[in-house]
Chain A
Amino acid sequence: EPEVTQTPSHQVTQMGQEVILRCVPISNHLYFYWYRQILGQKVEFLVSFYNNEISEKSEIFDDQFSVERPDGSNFTLKIRSTKLEDSAMYFCASSANRGYEQYFGPGTRLTVT
């Protein structure tokens, strides 16, 4: 069964550094998403992406965040200058089309020290 994959599973970085979290969505899916879950808190929507453009973003997704689909298979989330409060589990998801079920990856745990 096809699945969403994410790398790395755990990333440790120093405050102020840039990080790139990578996701490989299911191959024929058209919509891509990033979510964040701070430890002990709810899963929060960050951004959705379609046709090489951001289709919706939350208030969390400020100028330090960016997303990209660089090569037709990967979908990346970049955090330009990490802060301590960026420490969280980041989930990628994809769906075949608008309104279809989202499939989630296993997540990347980001620790900012």
Chain B
Amino acid sequence: AQSVTQLDSHVSVSEGTPVLLRCNYSSSYSPSLFWYVQHPNKGLQLLLKYTSAATLVKGINGFEAEFKKSETSFHLTKPSAHMSDAAEYFCVVANNNNDMRFGAGTRLTVKP
């Protein structure tokens, strides 16, 4: 069985400062990993995905994530936060059948 743990339920940063959203995964095989973003009253939008190619994955809106097998981590980062980045972020692990399991989510607040 696979699962993810998002280590912070809420992260608050100032505009222009770096963002770090932490995710650890558990999987008995090589997982696929995803980060999705959910803006208020909106659906889920894929930010980026890791599927056993390059360990550093670049996504939309300047986000990127690094797959670290030794640490079973897939943390999401962005060098400089923008007000529009304020949203809920979900780390997701999928098995070979693409059955997805979501983390609990991290709410990102961006202060002016």
Q: Which positions in A face B, CB cutoff 8 Å? A: 31, 33, 35, 41-45, 48, 55-56, 91, 95, 98-107
Q: Enumerate B1-54 residues with CB–CB distance to A below 8 Å.
A: 32, 36, 42-46, 49
B contacts with A, residue count (CB < 8 A):
19
B98 touching A31, Cβ below 8 Å: yes
Which residues of B have CB within 8 Å of A103?
Answer: 46
A4 to B50, CA, bound (A): 22
B43 touching A91, Cβ below 8 Å: yes
Known contacts A42-B104, A42-B105, A43-B90; is-contact A91 B98 (Cβ 8 Å): no
A98 to B46, CA, bound (A): 18
Known contacts A42-B105, A43-B90; is-contact A102 B43 (Cβ 8 Å): no
A3 to B105, CA, bound (A): 24
Chain B minimum-CB-distance residue to A99: B98
Distance in Å from the Cβ of B65 to the closest Cβ of chain A? 15
| Count of chain A to chain B residue pairs whose CB atoms are closer than 8 Å in the complex | 47
Chain A minimum-CB-distance residue to B45: A104
A91 to B49, CA, bound (A): 19
For residue B71, CB closer than 8 A to chain A, the reply is no
Which residues of A have CB within 8 Å of B103?
Answer: 42
Q: Within the complex, which residue of B49, B102, B104, B105 is in contact with A101, where a contact is CB–CB below 8 Å?
A: B49
A100 to B32, CA, bound (A): 10
A42 touching B102, Cβ below 8 Å: yes
B44 touching A45, Cβ below 8 Å: no
Q: Within the complex, which residue of A56, A101, A105, A106 is in contact with B99, where a contact is CB–CB below 8 Å?
A: A56
Chain B minimum-CB-distance residue to A100: B98
A95 touching B43, Cβ below 8 Å: no
For residue B97, CB closer than 8 A to chain A, the reply is yes
Which residues of A have CB within 8 Å of B102?
Answer: 35, 42-45
